[in-house]
Amino acid sequence: MIYYKTTDEIKLIRESSLLVSETLALIAGILQPGITTLELDTKAEAFIRDNGARPSFKGYRGFAHTLCISVNDEVVHGIPSKREIKNGDVVSVDCGVYKNSFHGDSAYTFLVGEVTMDAVNLAKVTKESVYKGIEMAVVGNRIGDISYAIQNYAESFHGYGVVRELVGHGLGKSLHEEPEVPNFGARGKGPKIQEGLVIAIEPMINLGTKNVVQENDGWTIRTKDRKISCHFEHTIAVTKGKADILSSFEPIEIAVKGNKNLYQEAETVS
Ligand code: MG
Ligand code: MG
């Protein structure tokens, strides 16, 4: 069943979600060639605990880390390791935080140094597709309207591959609650969107085909064709009939602008 949240509960989920955003901003500030994904993870965990919270992912179904860091052809669920970030890498970082009994969940894809135009365009379209979905999260619509908007934009309009195996989700006292929020689907289908709905909208978009495989580590999902993939995620609440974005890319993008090791957009896109 779907747990609709009260105004007070949404306030707490916003607090958790903004701590996720601040954590991703911290990562944006220190990401550079030569740093290992494990170093990023250690910094993120310390920051979250210093802020009176705990990482949502650590211990979740046996996952041993704070962040999922997925590089290049890795889509999601990449395990932090001694792997060093290189110039030209596409680095998706997913983070969850548990504070005051509620989770927040958000993800951002960073472009390190001199990246391909394919990477720049894919990241841009993936981020935009999150907002295409968010626009449809209004009372009167159904979850399928969100799904369709994302798929239509990324796949039909831009020709990218939309991952089917992993989907967005409700969240609150649990990291993953009903309903599922697929990034593909039909308009007018699925649960009705109602006041108090809290969901994570998180398209995973591939440069090539939609097909993915799981690595032998039991976690990492990568593209079957080994082409790059991007992942952006916001936690949102439906209040006063429409979507209120509880996480924020603003602190992340300020940190990106201040880090000369990351690709800089010619123009501000947020
Ligand atoms: Mg996430
Ligand atoms: Mg999520």
In this model, does residue 263 exceed pLDDT 80? yes
In this model, does residue 270 exceed pLDDT 90? no
Distance of CA 89 from the midpoint of ligand 2 (Å):
22
Model confidence pLDDT, tens digit, residues 30-89: 999 999 999 999 999 999 999 999 999 999 999 999 999 999 999 999 999 999 999 999
Structural domain span for residue 138: 7-257
How many Cβ atoms from other residues are within 10 Å of residue 245's Cβ? 18
Q: Flag whether 2 is in a domain.
A: no
Number of domains present in the structure of the chain: 1
Task: Give Dmax (Cα) for the chain.
Answer: 49
Query: What CATH number is given to the structural domain containing 157?
Result: 3.90.230.10
Q: Check: CB of residue 32 under 8 Å from CB of residue 261.
A: yes
List all residues 6 or more positions away from 99 whose beta carbon is below 8 Å from its beta carbon: 12, 15, 16, 19, 51, 52, 53, 54
pLDDT for 269 equals 52
Q: What is the arithmetic mean of pLDDT over 159-187?
A: 98
Q: Flag whether 88 is in a domain.
A: yes
Distance of CA 174 from the midpoint of ligand 1 (Å):
13
Q: Flag whether 1 is in a domain.
A: no
Q: What is the arithmetic mean of pLDDT over 144-153?
A: 98
Q: Flag whether 267 is in a domain.
A: no
Q: Flag whether 83 is in a domain.
A: yes
Q: Flag whether 100 is in a domain.
A: yes
Distance of CA 167 from the midpoint of ligand 2 (Å):
8
Distance of CA 202 from the midpoint of ligand 2 (Å):
6
Q: Flag whether 265 is in a domain.
A: no
Model confidence pLDDT, tens digit, residues 85-114: 999 999 999 999 999 999 999 999 999 999
Q: Flag whether 263 is in a domain.
A: no
